[in-house]
Structure 1
C-alpha cells in the first residue's frame, strides 16, 4: 500500500510518501499556492511520486490537511448565508451571551456583531415553536411563511441556507420539513439544519455552529470538488481523506457534508505526529511546537494523548463552534514573520507574515521586510545553499540589507544584534503562549519534552526550551513535514451525538432504557458509516461518552460510559468518572453535588495502518567524521555575550543510532535544519529521532542516551 500525506501551510506545502511494501519513506516540500491550494497539492504529489519512482496511479490514499476553512474565517470572505429561525429569535446571533474578550473595554469589536456570519436582513423569522423538555410541538410551523422566506432569500442572492429553530436538538421535525421546502423551491442551493450540524442544547452556540458551517460550505465544497477532479486528471485512483479538527480523518464526502469540522484541520496533524513519536520513543509528556513559515502551532500533550478542547473554549476566530477540536493554539510566529519598529518605537516581530510570495528578503522574490528567516541567515544558522536541499537558493546580502535599513538605523544596533533581537522576540512570543497552555493550567513545562516540528521548529526549539525550562528537545526524523506525517498516523474518526438531559441521582428505569436505545442507535449509525467508508469490521472501535456537569454549571466534561447495557450501577460509575474528570481539569471536585447527564456522544474510529520507521544501524560515534559536511562560523549568544563559533555542519541522513553530536553544531536535512547551541548535545535514537539536551553527560553516546531520557521517561 502506498499512502501520501499532504499538509498545506501558509508558506510551504509538505508531503510524505510511505511505501509499506518496501518500508521506504520519501519527503518533499513545495511552495504553497495560496490562490488555489489544490495547484500546490497536485504539483507536490506529482514531484514526490517522480522523486520516489512511484507511478501516481499506484497511490492508494491521499491524506490531506487543509487550511481552506480556516482561511475563510480569517479573511472573512465566506458565503452569503440566509437563515430561517424561530419567530422572535432572529437576533440570537447578535445578542450572543454578552461575553467580551476584554470585560471593561467599550471600544472592542465583537466579531459576531462587527462581522456577523448571517446579516440581519437574511435572518428570517418563521412562526413555529417546540417546547422543553421533550420537544413536543407547541406551535405548528407555518409552511407558507417558509415558502415566502425562501423566495426572499432567492431574491437576496444568498449562496446557502441554514435552518435553525429553537429546541430542534430535542425534535428536528420542523427543521427537516423546512429543509424539504427549501430544496423543493430551490433545488440547487446548499441547505443545512442546526440539528444535523450540532444537535446540542445552547441555542446561541448551536445557531453559531450551523451558521459557521454554512458560511464556509460553498468554498470548501468547491475546493474539495476541484481537488478530487484534479487528482482524477492526474491519474490518481486512490481515496482522498481529510483531516478534521478532532484529529480524525474523514472521507471527502463527509467533509463536504460538515465542513465546520475542518476549521483546525491544518494544525491537528503535527499534534498527532507529536503524540505518535512520543509513544514510539517512550516519552509520555510533550509540548508540540510546530513552527512553519507563517505561524506557530502549540499544544500540550500529556500521556501521549492529544487533548480535546472544552466546549466552552471551542471557537474559530472569535465565533463559538460546537465541534470537537484538538487543543492547539495558533499564533503569528513563523519564519516569514516580519520584524518592524512600531509607531511608538518598539521593536516587534509578527504577526504579519511575508508568506510564500514574496517571502523573506533572502528569497530574492522582491520582499524587502526583514523576517525571522533572514535573522537565521545572518547568524549563520541557515546555509544559503542548503535551504530546501538546495532547491531554493537564499541571498544573505538581501537579509543584511533588509535588517540594516529597516531596524539597525532606528535601534542603534549592529546587524547581528538586531538579528538576535528578532529571534529573542519571536521565541518569547512562543514562550508566553506555552506558559498560558501549561503553567496557567497547573502543568510544569520542566517535566515535559519540547517537540520541534515544522521547517523552523528545530532552529528555535533549544533556545525556546531554555526560556521555558524544558530539559529535553525532541526532533523527529522529518521535522519539516511533521503535520503531513501526522496525517499518516491519524485514524478515520466521526462523532455522533444526541441530547439526553437527566439528573443522574433521580434517573429511573425508563430513562435508562431510553439512553440504552439512543446509544444503540448512535452506535449503529457510526458503525454503518465506517463500513461505508471501507473500514473492516475488526478495525472499528466505538467509544461511548457521557457529557456531564454539576447541576447549575455552564459547560460539560466527558466521562466514558461502561460497556454493555446501562444500569443504575453503570450510571453511578459515570458519575464517579465525571468527578475524576472534574478533578483533573480544575484541580477539585464536589462528590456531594448532583451530576447531570447532558449529551450522549459516540466517537467512532476506523483504525488505519500506522507508520513504521525503519531502524538505523548502531553507530555509537562522537561527532562522526562520516557525517561531517563542512565547518562555518555561526553566531550564538552565550552568557549574555554575542560570540562567533566555528560550527560543523552534519548531514543528518548519515547519522546512525546512538551517535553523539556535541554543540555548537548545525544538523542539516532537506526539510529542516537543527541548531545545537554551545553547551548542548544531540543523540540519535534507533528510529532516527534526535534528542537534544544540555551537556551533562561525558560518557559514550549510547550511555548518554539513557541518561538524557531519564527525566522524561
Structure 2
C-alpha cells in the first residue's frame, strides 16, 4: 500500500510518496489562508505522478506549522481561565527572571502578549494540600458557574482550568471541567493536570493556557484537512508528527495541540538523522533552510536529542512538552534584505513567504530576498526553478537588490547580493554554534547536512564558517522533512508527579512509585490500543525525572528492570549522577536525589520508507549529466563559467569538481571552486575540499 509524507512550510508544501513502484517527490506552494487546500492538491498531484488513485493511499503522515504560526502571529483564541484563589496573576508574574539581564528595553512576552488576559482569569475557592494531595477546601462550584456566565457574556469558548497542586490530585480540575461543559456545551477545555501533570505552577499553567490558545484553530485545521481528504477520495489514516518526533492521531493532537508546536521542524531532524545512517555518518548537524526559517539540530552518534524542559519555550512562553532539541531562526530563501533607519544592512527575520514571495516570483513582491540574491549571483537559474515548473524573473530580482540595497549603500548590485548571502550565512553560523560549540560539541567532528529548498546552496559556506569536516546533501533536499515523516514511529507520553527522596525511601514510597509506573504503563498502552496496535507490538519505557535536593530543574534517569525496591533504587540515582556529569561536567555522588516525575513513553514501530540505491558508475564521465554552462559568482567574489549537472543522472561513485551546480526538481546544490562532490550509494552527495574525496 502507498504512504505519503506531507510537510507544510511557510513557503512550500513538500510531499513524498512511497509505493511498490518506487519513491516519488513533489512540491507545491503553501496555501497560507487554508493550508489544507495545498495539502489536498499536493496529494492529488503526487498520486497522479505515481499513476495511482488517491484511494490507494494507506497512510498520510503530516508535519504542520499551524499551531506554531498561531503563536508567532498572536492570533489564537480568546481564552478564559479558572484558577485557585490567590494565583490569578501567576501567568503575569512568571518567574521574575529577566529575559535579557542588561537590557532596559526588553520585552516580556507573557506580559506584553498574554495567552489569557487578566480580566478573563477568574479565581475560585479550592485548595489541595501537598505532598499527599488531600483536599483542604472543597471546590466552590457556584463560583465556577459564575465564571462560565462571564465567559459566555464575553464570547469566550476556550477555557483553561489550572489549580494549585492539581498534579497531586486532579479531582477539582475534573469537576470544574464537568461544570464548564454543562454551562458551556461545546467549549474547548484544557486541564493543567492533563497537558502537564508536573510540579511548577507557572510552567504548568502556561502550558495549559497555550493549549487552549492554539487549540480551537488547530483542531479545526486538523479535522478540516481530514474531511477535505475524504472529499477528495483519500480514505487513508491521517497521522500527525509531534514535537518529540513521534506520530499521533488527529484526535489526540486536536485535544493536546501543545504536542505539535514543533511538528514542522521535527520531521526534518528525523529525516536528516536517517540520511546520516544511510551514508554511515553518525555525527550530523542538520540545517533545514526553507523559505521562511532555518531549523538547526545537532545529532551526535545517531542520537536525536530531546530538549531540557527548562528550555522548551515557544514564542517566549514556557511549554512543558517534550521537543526535539533544535534552534529556529528567521533565515530562509524568502528572508527580506533591507537597510534600516540607521543605515544598517539586515537580512530577516521577516520573510516574503509564498504570497507575494520574493521579487522574482512576479506576484507583486518588491523587496529583495535571499532567493533574489542567489539569482543575481547566478546560483539559481530562473528557468530551472522546480524543474521549470516555477518561472522566475531575474530582472525583477536585480531591480529589487539594486533599488533597495545597492543604491542606498553605494555598492554594485553584485556586492549587494553577496552581502545578503554573507549576512544570512553569518546568522545561521551563529545559530549552529549555539547548538553545538556552546554545548560542548566540536563541529570539526560533524558533517553539515543542509536541506530544505534553499539548504544546499549554503552548505559549503556554513561548513567553512563552523569548521565542519564535510557537507552531506540528502537525496531529495527540498523534501527531506517530508521523508522524515515516513521514518518515524507512533509515540505517546504521559507523566505522573511524585516527590520522593530516594535515599530515604521505604516500602511505602516504593509502593507509590510502582503503582504509578503500572498506571502510566496502562495509560500509554491504552492510547496505542486505540490505534489498533497489538500489545505484542508495543514498547513502553518508563523514565525517572530527578534532581538534587533543592535543585531547580530535573534530568532524565533510567528506571531499573522490574519493581523498584531497596535493592535496585540505586540504579535510578546512579543513572541521574551519570547524566548530570554528562550535561554539566560534574556530579555529587553523595548528595540526596529526589524523584520528581515519572514519564512513560509508548512507541510502536512503523514501516520505514526505503530509499532505493542509484546505479553505480560505469566509468564514464559525469558529463553525461551536463546540462549547460552559465556564469556564477561565488563567495570569494570570483565570477566563473560554471557547468550545471542534472543530479538525477549522476551515478554512485561519480565525482564532480567545482565550480559546479547540481540541479534537481526540489533543490539546487552549490559546489564552489576548490571542492568536489561525490555521489553516494543512494544518491546522496558528499562535498569535501579537492583532494579529500
Q: Cα deviations across residues 340-369 of structure 1 (Å, max 9, x unaligned)?
A: 111111111111111101111111111111
Aligned to 1:668: 663
Is the 8 Å Cα contact of residues 10 and 292 (structure 2) preserved in structure 1?
yes
- In 2, the alpha carbon distance for the partners of 1:464 and 1:305 equals 22
- Alpha-carbon deviation of 1:623? 5.0
Q: Which runs of 5+ in 2 are unaligned?
A: none
Query: Secondary structure of the equivalent of 1:455?
Result: coil
Aligned to 2:206: 208
Q: Which runs of 5+ in 1 are unaligned?
A: 698-703, 705-713
Q: CA 1:675/1:501 → structure 2, altered by over 3 Å: closer, same or farther?
A: same
Q: Cα deviations across residues 488-541 of structure 1 (Å, max 9, x unaligned)?
A: 111111111100111111111121122111111111111121121122333321
Aligned to 2:238: 240
Aligned to 2:683: 688
Query: Secondary structure of the equivalent of 2:449?
Result: strand
- Alpha-carbon deviation of 1:567? 2.0
- In 1, the alpha carbon distance for the partners of 2:141 and 2:353 equals 50
Query: Secondary structure of the equivalent of 2:568?
Result: helix
- Alpha-carbon deviation of 1:305? 1.6
Q: CA RMSD in A?
A: 1.2
The answer as to 2:13 corresponding to 1:13 is yes
User: TM-score under structure 2 normalisation?
Assistant: 0.99
1:100 is matched with which residue: 92, 98, 101? 98
The answer as to 2:642 corresponding to 1:651 is no
Range 224-233 or range 614-623, more displaced? 614-623
Is the 8 Å Cα contact of residues 647 and 664 (structure 2) preserved in structure 1?
yes
Aligned to 1:69: 67
- In 2, the alpha carbon distance for the partners of 1:486 and 1:455 equals 15
- In 2, the alpha carbon distance for the partners of 1:248 and 1:622 equals 44
- Alpha-carbon deviation of 1:104? 3.3
Q: Cα deviations across residues 546-572 of structure 1 (Å, max 9, x unaligned)?
A: 001111110001112122222223210
Is the 8 Å Cα contact of residues 212 and 260 (structure 1) preserved in structure 2?
yes
- Alpha-carbon deviation of 1:577? 0.8
Alignment of 1:191-590 (within 5 A): 191-590=189-588
- In 1, the alpha carbon distance for the partners of 2:301 and 2:513 equals 31
Aligned to 1:701: none
Query: Secondary structure of the equivalent of 2:400?
Result: helix
- Alpha-carbon deviation of 1:187? 1.6
- In 2, the alpha carbon distance for the partners of 1:534 and 1:279 equals 30
Query: Secondary structure of the equivalent of 1:570?
Result: coil
Is the 8 Å Cα contact of residues 622 and 661 (structure 1) preserved in structure 2?
no
Is the 8 Å Cα contact of residues 623 and 662 (structure 1) preserved in structure 2?
no
Range 337-346 or range 623-632, more displaced? 623-632
- Alpha-carbon deviation of 1:81? 0.7
User: TM-score under structure 1 normalisation?
Assistant: 0.96
Is the 8 Å Cα contact of residues 623 and 661 (structure 1) preserved in structure 2?
no
Query: Secondary structure of the equivalent of 2:458?
Result: helix
Is the 8 Å Cα contact of residues 498 and 601 (structure 1) preserved in structure 2?
yes
Is the 8 Å Cα contact of residues 197 and 258 (structure 1) preserved in structure 2?
yes
Q: Cα deviations across residues 174-212 of structure 1 (Å, max 9, x unaligned)?
A: 111111111122222121211111110000100010011
Aligned to 1:708: none
Q: Cα deviations across residues 223-248 of structure 1 (Å, max 9, x unaligned)?
A: 11110110110011110001111111
Range 578-587 or range 210-219, more displaced? 578-587
Query: Secondary structure of the equivalent of 1:693?
Result: strand
Task: Count how many residue pairs are aligned between Structure 1 and Structure 2.
Answer: 693
Query: Secondary structure of the equivalent of 1:569?
Result: coil
Range 393-402 or range 423-432, more displaced? 393-402
- In 2, the alpha carbon distance for the partners of 1:620 and 1:351 equals 46
Q: CA 1:623/1:367 → structure 2, altered by over 3 Å: closer, same or farther?
A: farther
- In 2, the alpha carbon distance for the partners of 1:373 and 1:655 equals 26
Q: Cα deviations across residues 456-509 of structure 1 (Å, max 9, x unaligned)?
A: 000011111111111111111010011111111111111111001111111111
- In 2, the alpha carbon distance for the partners of 1:310 and 1:257 equals 24
- In 2, the alpha carbon distance for the partners of 1:562 and 1:687 equals 40
- In 1, the alpha carbon distance for the partners of 2:649 and 2:567 equals 59
Aligned to 2:130: 132
- In 1, the alpha carbon distance for the partners of 2:306 and 2:559 equals 17
Is the 8 Å Cα contact of residues 82 and 160 (structure 1) preserved in structure 2?
yes
Is the 8 Å Cα contact of residues 337 and 346 (structure 2) preserved in structure 1?
yes
- Alpha-carbon deviation of 1:449? 0.4
- In 2, the alpha carbon distance for the partners of 1:595 and 1:537 equals 34
- Alpha-carbon deviation of 1:621? 4.5
- In 1, the alpha carbon distance for the partners of 2:620 and 2:99 equals 52
- In 2, the alpha carbon distance for the partners of 1:533 and 1:595 equals 37
Aligned to 1:2: 2
- In 2, the alpha carbon distance for the partners of 1:539 and 1:413 equals 63
- Alpha-carbon deviation of 1:138? 0.8
Is the 8 Å Cα contact of residues 621 and 660 (structure 1) preserved in structure 2?
no
Aligned to 1:33: 31
- In 2, the alpha carbon distance for the partners of 1:298 and 1:620 equals 37
Is the 8 Å Cα contact of residues 620 and 660 (structure 1) preserved in structure 2?
no
Is the 8 Å Cα contact of residues 620 and 658 (structure 1) preserved in structure 2?
no
Query: Secondary structure of the equivalent of 2:602?
Result: strand
Is the 8 Å Cα contact of residues 501 and 599 (structure 1) preserved in structure 2?
yes
- Alpha-carbon deviation of 1:88? 1.0
Aligned to 1:711: none
- In 1, the alpha carbon distance for the partners of 2:249 and 2:579 equals 32
- In 1, the alpha carbon distance for the partners of 2:294 and 2:491 equals 25
Q: CA 1:231/1:44 → structure 2, altered by over 3 Å: closer, same or farther?
A: same
